[in-house]
């Protein structure tokens, strides 16, 4: 399977101290990848690096085989955290907001046509918000606002969807609904998803690939079907985690590589019981686990 996101030996620091160090990570087409880690460990920094907002101090990032210099023209959709709350005071209808996601299709200095309006309606329908298309964004609940923001991203037909803690600040029911929509997009529309989240319990069962930036956050029992990659990360000055070791073996540093490739624990594959990191392709299986179906298989 083709790698759509490939991070190689990437390090980054806002000062001379590195937050992320020698991170190697790849996301294949059709993956539902999740980035987890404690506060201040560099999850959002990782997203900014993937979006080209920040440049890595060392190493490289490639998107769909092209070295990342700018995201213009790439098929990436981005949903930031609390994106809806920022819009609460903005006097725009849901339809107007979703139409802005069609910018690339309409083009600079051109006017949207009937097709674009139809496309915006389709995107709103996908997130079950079509009936609210004439409502002001500020009149909606946090969960509804987040779905409208997702519709805006979807209107642009992204191949890759990057989400930075999309479930923060919304109620449990809305979280389930949002994750269900993402799962549907991943399975039916073949959209590759990379999501930063704290909510391992909710998002974990959907993921088939996990980048773990801090040991404490990586609760493997919640990630039954995922290939887990441990990255070498340092915390921000106020964060909690100082240094990350390979969680699957006790032989030290994973250096941001998959455990199979960890130089320090070459015997992982044979002697360590965690050596075999299963990569399940069957994401329906993960979905069933989330909804209580197929529980026995997962157990």
Query: Which residues lie near other proteins (CB under 8 A)?
Result: 51, 53, 71-73, 76, 78, 80, 83, 86-87, 90-93, 96-97, 99-101, 103-104, 106, 108-109, 111-112, 134, 136, 152, 156
- How big is the CA angle at 291 (ends 288 and 294), to the nearest 5 degrees? 40
Q: Provide the β-strand partners of residue 57.
A: none
Q: State the nearest-atom distance from the C-beta of 146 to other proteins, in Å.
A: 13
User: What are the start-end ranges of the E strands in the chain?
Assistant: 3-12, 20-28, 32-36, 58-63, 66-67, 76-79, 160-164, 192-196, 209-212, 227-230, 232-233
The Cα–Cα gap between 80 and 74 comes to 18
Q: How many Cβ atoms sit within 10 Å of the Cβ of residue 246?
A: 23
Q: State the nearest-atom distance from the C-beta of 223 to other proteins, in Å.
A: 29
Q: State the nearest-atom distance from the C-beta of 167 to other proteins, in Å.
A: 19
The residue among 164 and 225 lying less far from other proteins, judged by its C-beta, is 164
Is the Cα torsion angle 111, 117, 120, 122 positive or negative in sign? Answer: negative
The Cα–Cα gap between 277 and 256 comes to 15
The residue among 111 and 188 lying less far from other proteins, judged by its C-beta, is 111
- How big is the CA angle at 228 (ends 163 and 68), to the nearest 5 degrees? 50
The Cα–Cα gap between 177 and 181 comes to 6
End-to-end CA distance of the chain: 28
Q: State the nearest-atom distance from the C-beta of 110 to other proteins, in Å.
A: 8
Q: Tell me which residue has tokens 């699957």.
A: 248
Q: State the nearest-atom distance from the C-beta of 96 to other proteins, in Å.
A: 5
Q: State the nearest-atom distance from the C-beta of 102 to other proteins, in Å.
A: 9
The residue among 75 and 294 lying less far from other proteins, judged by its C-beta, is 75
Q: State the nearest-atom distance from the C-beta of 171 to other proteins, in Å.
A: 20
The Cα–Cα gap between 163 and 51 comes to 11
The residue among 15 and 270 lying less far from other proteins, judged by its C-beta, is 15
Q: State the nearest-atom distance from the C-beta of 189 to other proteins, in Å.
A: 19
The residue among 122 and 264 lying less far from other proteins, judged by its C-beta, is 122
Could you please report the per-residue DSSP string of 236-272? -TTSS------SSSSSS--TTSBGGG-GGGTTHHHH-
The residue among 78 and 206 lying less far from other proteins, judged by its C-beta, is 78
The residue among 112 and 294 lying less far from other proteins, judged by its C-beta, is 112
Q: How many Cβ atoms sit within 10 Å of the Cβ of residue 13?
A: 16
């Amino acid at each position: 399977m083709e790698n759509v996101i490939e991070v190689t030996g990437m390090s980054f620091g806002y000062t001379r101290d590195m937050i992320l160090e020698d991170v190697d990570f790849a996301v294949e087409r059709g993956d539902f990848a999740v980035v987890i880690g404690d506060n201040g460990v560099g999850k959002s920094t990782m997203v900014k690096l993937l979006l080209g907002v920040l440049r890595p101090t060392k190493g490289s990032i490639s998107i769909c085989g092209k070295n990342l210099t700018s995201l213009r023209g790439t098929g990436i959709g981005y949903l930031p955290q609390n994106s809806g709350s920022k819009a609460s005071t903005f006097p725009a209808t849901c339809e107007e907001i979703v139409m802005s996601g069609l910018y690339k299709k309409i083009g600079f200095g051109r006017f949207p046509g009937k097709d674009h309006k139809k496309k915006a309606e389709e995107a709103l329908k996908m997130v079950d918000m079509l009936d609210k298309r004439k409502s002001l964004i500020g009149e909606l609940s946090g969960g509804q606002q987040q779905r409208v923001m997702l519709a805006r991203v979807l209107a642009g037909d992204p191949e890759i969807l990057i989400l930075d803690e999309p479930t923060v600040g919304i109620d449990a029911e809305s979280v389930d609904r949002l994750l269900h929509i993402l799962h549907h997009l991943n399975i039916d529309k073949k959209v590759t998803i990379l999501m930063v989240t704290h909510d391992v319990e909710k998002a974990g069962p959907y993921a088939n690939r996990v980048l773990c930036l801090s040991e404490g956050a990586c609760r493997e029992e919640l990630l039954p079907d995922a290939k887990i990659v441990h990255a070498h990360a340092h915390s921000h000055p106020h964060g909690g985690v100082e240094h990350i070791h390979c969680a699957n073996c006790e032989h030290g540093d994973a250096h941001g590589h998959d455990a199979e490739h960890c130089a320090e624990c070459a015997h992982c594959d044979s002697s360590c019981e965690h050596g075999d990191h299963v990569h399940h392709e069957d994401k329906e299986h993960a979905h069933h686990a989330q909804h209580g179906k197929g529980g026995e298989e997962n157990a």
